[in-house]
Structure 1
Amino acid sequence: MAEHCTIQYDHYYDEFGSQFVLVAVYDDGRAIDELWSNSASLDDEQEVQRFGSAQLQKALTQMQRDGWQIEASEEQRSLETVPASEHVVYRLFKKL
């Protein structure tokens, strides 16, 4: 038997500027942990995006140290929005 988890990193735009959200979803959505979130004006967007990418890698590294294994990943970019939004998902499992 295995436990499952999804790490999801979203970067999107709304009326307030650029939004970044990093969450961990456990057991098919029954538990959700917000690991990091931030908003940025277009002036400091690249700095916040670099920090968000670093937080994603940090979360994945910690999950792997805790015994989780990556079973799949998926990245999507929406070309319908300008600038493009980004959605990255890592599916992990842990044998019990």
Structure 2
Amino acid sequence: SQPVPDNAIYQLADALKAVQGYEFPIKFTETTRAFFSMAALGSPAPLRTGITALLANPQDAAADKVVSSDKMMHSTLRTTCVATMVSAG
């Protein structure tokens, strides 16, 4: 085997980094909108304010940052994609 700078393993590593860095946009369904509307009622002030702002404008980056600091809320706001297994040789 002769090493080359552009091999399949490095391409796979680059693809994994791309997946890691990708953030799906916020998308409210009827169900998630109802969930977040109820969650806002029982949440502390910063989170409640962020949820309310996102419900009004899902593209509010500052509100997204606040709400997405909670990993459960982050993954409920949007589609997620996480690498969990890799097999290569």
TM range (shorter): under 0.3
| TM-score relative to the length of structure 2 | 0.26
Q: Which has the larger radius of gyration?
A: 2
Q: Which has the higher helix share?
A: 2
